[in-house]
Structure 1
Amino acid sequence: MIFAPDTPPKGTLRDWVDHRAASGGTAFVFWDDPEGLDWKSLQAEARKIAMALTAQGLEKGESVAILQPNGREGVLAFYGAVYGGFRATMINLAAGQDAISYALEHSEAKVAIVHDSVRSLFEATRPGAMATMDVSVAVTDAKLHDVAPSDHALLMYTSGTTGRPKGVVHTQSSLLAGGWTTAIAHDLSPRDRALCVLPICHINGLCVTVIGALVSGGSVAMCPKFSVSGFWTQVSEMGATWFSVVPTIISHLLHAKGAPGAETMDRLRFGRSASSALAPDVQSAFEKRFKVPIIETMGLTETAAQILSNPLPPGIRKIGSPGIAYGNEVAILAPDLTECPCDTEGEIAVRGPNVMLEYLKNPDATNGTFADGWLRTGDLGKKDADGYLFVTGRLKELIIKGGENIAPREIDEALYSHGDVIEAAAFARPCKTYGERVEAAVRVRDGSRLTNDDLVDICVQKLGRFKAPDRIHFLPELPKGPSGKIQRLKLLAVT
């Protein structure tokens, strides 16, 4: 296995784990666990888990649900599933019970690898026939499935405009390509160590840091979650050379006390921003204060994370742009699917080895997303004469809060669950902290005593705190078009 900047990775995740084990070196260090993982130990543990899953009679490509926070057990659960040729189904623990129940049911996973800390959440959302898996039980006589690059490797659920999460399927090869696009854009090498504070149940944390290290031969410093007060201490003590975060984190760090020491500054090559647009003023202020270059990027769950990145210094970084394509093609398409001229707005589309295989059990959504070999993102943008892309808007109605996609319809349905609500529609309001925040407008029946707090509490219970609206606007009537459909995009102006 060779990391070649000009060629997508060949083989499977199992091949690459075996190669790293043979080469040696550290794979992971953990902030909350003194026992790290070298590649040889990771291989042995992943193989043991793969055998335990195989011994359960699971077929190649079947889903294995993984409900794990960041940490040693979560890393091994993921690698064990893909090493065995199964479809690692990463469950977002903050998604809310309805979404988790849907993902577990829709994935058709027969077994789940569940961390003790989320056992009650699993019990509240599990399908009746799903069993938990004790991966500590030693199994030595199970013959592992043969695994090919085209086999399923990952199932990750992402919000869509229809409200129901869509299950994005990646193959062994597209998942490796996702790590490769990061590695070539950021010139990663075995000397690098990524600080991982983003959850690996999201595509950014999983592909950028975890798979990026597998492909490049570097290592990962993993933290349970982001801590604004502990961030620079973690960068320092864990020996990180770069980090990947979202704009919200950059903003929090900018406005908090503390800064890296001189030794850390000498070692730290760059910080990486992804998942939503980074405000130019925030980026400039961060770099001025901390003397750490921030590389703005863009990626999707459907593309195994990164599609665009600004070059590393001394290359030209254009503030306000997520950069240029690395490892895939990114085009601006007109409605007739021809490429738009320079500086002309159109839909952002992607094709390359990192693009997903399909949406699981959803051929209509799959066919609607692909056109002439391009994956249509639903985002609007334009390219300048140097090939740098600028995002100008979205065709879809997704709310992007702190880099996370939130489907307005999910919130609509939660609000409609109360009998007093006659009309409901969620929408985005610009926010300096999160990029966008969630608000909603409702019309309630005459005489109703419903309050803002009542409806927010319903949304928290059904969807989780993160997706719940910050404010509910009570209106006599919501704006509608000729057909009677609520015009969501007009709500910002009337509230």
Structure 2
Amino acid sequence: MKLHRDHPPEGTVRDWLDGRADAGGTGFVFPEGASPLSWDSLRSRAREIAAMLTSQGIAAEESVAIMMPNGRPAIECLFGVLYGGFRATMINLVAGDEAISYALSHSEARFAFVGPEQEELFSRTADPAHITALSPDGGPSPDVPLHDITPQSHALLMYTSGTTGRPKGVVHTQCSLLAGGWTTAIAHALTPEDRGLCVLPIYHINGLCVTVMGALVSGGSLALVSRFSASNFWAQAAQSESTWFSVVPTIISHLLHSENDPDPDCIARLRFGRSASSALAPEVQRAFETRFGIPIVETMGLTETAAQILSNPLPPGTRKIGSPGIGVGNEVAIFDSGFNKLPPGQEGELVIRGPNVMLEYLKNPEATADSFTPDGWLRTGDLGRQDGDGYVFITGRLKELIIKGGENIAPREIDEALYSHPDVIEAAAFGRPCASYGERVEAAVRLRSGSSITPSDLIAICEKRLGKFKSPDQVFLLDELPKGPSGKIQRIKIPVEIDRHMRR
């Protein structure tokens, strides 16, 4: 199987795993101790798992839940489910019991691969009358014919965070899942010689599509660790001989404020770092690149698009600080409220069309219809503008805008003002109900240890950059801001966390 820049991958995940196995080579390494996994060994194990699932009477495209952390068993189970033509239903282990129970029930999965450390969580959240736990280790493989699968067959079911209601189940096909890895591979010019470092959970779309599918499609390999650790990150990158990594802005900030430095050989080997999932503050990006000498490529992706939709070019191409880049592998536009394309410079909703776009929201035709324009563009819910070179600048979320006295305020503006102080590790602005203005602006911040800066100092910084009207009325100092599985700060949960903090 060969990567082509001009058209997305053809075939199925089974086809691509067969091709990689036939070509040989290492697929995955595990810096925390598990033995490496060649593409050929992965195919053998995937076939065993696929045959076992088939022998259980599971239909093609039926959900099979995967309730496991990053590791060799999770990779084997994921590819086993995909190889067998089933719908891999990735369970977010930190979503909370209610959301996990909903995903297991809504997906109608009758079987779930459950890691040893997740057995208690499974027992709390699963209905034993409808779903059976399977051991990742498995047993001998029965000799049964596997289901026929096509590029249009269901392959992945991943639930959104549910910040505006019940989580929605995003369905990807075999071909859109592969296209998610392809957009990453062509944007970053990945080759069989590249090895990514994955510290993000593969039950999140970034970890699964950017790094796992990116390795499959490019023919390279992946170093996979259980979780991000600022104290171990550079050692893991060096030990695994990684050439690139994919992280989120909070991780970049934590690495920047850590006392650990990579060794010179590690820096020389790393071609780039990749940032996604939320906006990267320009001050943080510049400071990281100045300290470590590793270029950061800002990107943007969605669960609904199998991750990446935008990316800045690699050096020496033009990286525009503050922009997640241009469309690579898909079409990008800015629409007004009537779904008309806007010219460069005008603000509207970012929309996407391409081979990596989801098939549907499972069992939710109304939400599916609402997410697409009449001519098939996916509505992202992000506000932004596009410059004359095609670079997109995100200005906010339609549902996150703070409306103060009838004026729209994008939280990102305030975030970036707060990040301009070097002691700020995490920052997020949000709106609170207010009798005078409808909403008032507040913000939460995490500072580096030993910092003497005060909330008043931070408000003054914002007022100098943004003016008093847009600046926070209050800034709260927290030990940690609430985050999702990818490390993205969850703005909607901050007021609850502040209230809990104030009651202590």
Alpha-carbon distance change, 388 to 162 in structure 1, aligned in 2, over 3 angstroms: same
CA drift of 1:369 comes to 0.2
Alpha-carbon distance change, 295 to 474 in structure 1, aligned in 2, over 3 angstroms: closer
Q: Which residue of 1 aligns with 2:167?
A: 165
SS in 2 for 1:51: helix
**Contact 1:276 1:298 survives alignment (8 Å):** yes
| 1:217-255 Cα shifts (integer Å, max 9, x gaps) | 000001110000011001101110000000000000000
Q: Which residue of 2 aligns with 1:311?
A: 313
Q: Which residue of 1 aligns with 2:48?
A: 48
CA drift of 1:163 comes to 1.6
CA distance in 1: counterparts of 2:286 and 2:358, whole angstroms: 34
- Between stretches 429-438 and 94-103, larger displacement belongs to 429-438
**Contact 1:276 1:435 survives alignment (8 Å):** no
CA distance in 1: counterparts of 2:146 and 2:303, whole angstroms: 28
Q: Percent identity?
A: 60
Q: Which residue of 1 aligns with 2:115?
A: 115
Q: Which residue of 1 aligns with 2:473?
A: none
Alignment partner of 1:385 is 2:388: yes
| 1:144-163 Cα shifts (integer Å, max 9, x gaps) | 00010000000000034542
Alpha-carbon distance change, 125 to 473 in structure 1, aligned in 2, over 3 angstroms: closer
CA drift of 1:198 comes to 0.2
SS in 1 for 2:370: helix
Alpha-carbon distance change, 113 to 396 in structure 1, aligned in 2, over 3 angstroms: same
Q: Which residue of 1 aligns with 2:145?
A: 143
CA distance in 1: counterparts of 2:226 and 2:500, whole angstroms: 36
Q: Which residue of 1 aligns with 2:132?
A: 131
SS in 1 for 2:121: helix
Q: Which residue of 2 aligns with 1:153?
A: 155
Amino acid at match of 1:132: A
**Contact 1:334 1:346 survives alignment (8 Å):** yes
| 1:148-207 Cα shifts (integer Å, max 9, x gaps) | 000000000003454210000000000000000000000000000000000000000000
CA distance in 2: counterparts of 1:119 and 1:324, whole angstroms: 43
Flag structure 1 segments of 5+ consecutive residues without an equivalent: 400-426, 443-455, 476-495
**Contact 2:30 2:72 survives alignment (8 Å):** yes
Flag structure 2 segments of 5+ consecutive residues without an equivalent: 403-410, 420-424, 435-477
Alpha-carbon distance change, 209 to 66 in structure 1, aligned in 2, over 3 angstroms: same
- Between stretches 300-309 and 153-162, larger displacement belongs to 153-162
Q: Give TM-score, length-normalised by structure 1.
A: 0.83
Alignment partner of 1:81 is 2:81: yes
| 1:25-83 Cα shifts (integer Å, max 9, x gaps) | 00000122341100000000011001111110000000001001000011111111010
SS in 2 for 1:349: strand
CA distance in 2: counterparts of 1:160 and 1:240, whole angstroms: 34
1:258 to 260, 282, 293: 260
CA distance in 2: counterparts of 1:366 and 1:392, whole angstroms: 25
CA distance in 2: counterparts of 1:233 and 1:261, whole angstroms: 8
Alpha-carbon distance change, 93 to 231 in structure 1, aligned in 2, over 3 angstroms: same
Alpha-carbon distance change, 338 to 398 in structure 1, aligned in 2, over 3 angstroms: closer
CA distance in 1: counterparts of 2:244 and 2:57, whole angstroms: 41
Q: Give TM-score, length-normalised by structure 2.
A: 0.82
**Contact 2:34 2:72 survives alignment (8 Å):** no
Alpha-carbon distance change, 266 to 474 in structure 1, aligned in 2, over 3 angstroms: closer
CA distance in 1: counterparts of 2:119 and 2:426, whole angstroms: 30
CA distance in 1: counterparts of 2:362 and 2:23, whole angstroms: 36
Amino acid at match of 2:229: S
CA distance in 1: counterparts of 2:432 and 2:90, whole angstroms: 29
CA drift of 1:362 comes to 0.5
Amino acid at match of 1:131: T
CA distance in 2: counterparts of 1:376 and 1:262, whole angstroms: 44
CA drift of 1:334 comes to 1.2
| 1:282-309 Cα shifts (integer Å, max 9, x gaps) | 0000000000000000000000000000
Amino acid at match of 1:395: L
CA drift of 1:140 comes to 2.8
State the aligned residue count: 430
CA distance in 1: counterparts of 2:166 and 2:429, whole angstroms: 20
| 1:240-272 Cα shifts (integer Å, max 9, x gaps) | 000000000000000001111111111110000
CA distance in 2: counterparts of 1:125 and 1:34, whole angstroms: 29
Alpha-carbon distance change, 168 to 4 in structure 1, aligned in 2, over 3 angstroms: same
Alpha-carbon distance change, 438 to 142 in structure 1, aligned in 2, over 3 angstroms: farther
Q: Which residue of 2 aligns with 1:91?
A: 91
**Contact 1:440 1:472 survives alignment (8 Å):** no
**Contact 2:335 2:350 survives alignment (8 Å):** yes
**Contact 1:440 1:473 survives alignment (8 Å):** no
CA drift of 1:2 comes to 1.6
> 1:346-425 maps to which residues of 2 (within 5 A)?
346-371=348-373, 372-397=375-400
| 1:431-477 Cα shifts (integer Å, max 9, x gaps) | 754453789789xxxxxxxxxxxxx9xxx9xx9x98573212999xx
Amino acid at match of 1:146: D
CA distance in 2: counterparts of 1:437 and 1:320, whole angstroms: 18
SS in 2 for 1:207: helix
Q: Which residue of 2 aligns with 1:492?
A: none
CA distance in 2: counterparts of 1:227 and 1:369, whole angstroms: 36
**Contact 2:61 2:85 survives alignment (8 Å):** yes
Alpha-carbon distance change, 56 to 434 in structure 1, aligned in 2, over 3 angstroms: farther
Q: Which residue of 1 aligns with 2:299?
A: 297
SS in 2 for 1:33: coil
Amino acid at match of 2:392: L
Alignment partner of 1:15 is 2:42: no
CA drift of 1:143 comes to 1.1
Q: Which residue of 1 aligns with 2:428?
A: 436
**Contact 1:438 1:470 survives alignment (8 Å):** no
CA distance in 1: counterparts of 2:397 and 2:353, whole angstroms: 19
Q: Which residue of 2 aligns with 1:272?
A: 274
Amino acid at match of 2:428: E
Q: CA RMSD in A?
A: 2.4
Amino acid at match of 2:57: G
Alpha-carbon distance change, 367 to 398 in structure 1, aligned in 2, over 3 angstroms: farther
SS in 1 for 2:36: strand
**Contact 1:221 1:240 survives alignment (8 Å):** yes
CA drift of 1:117 comes to 0.7
2:230 to 222, 228, 231: 228
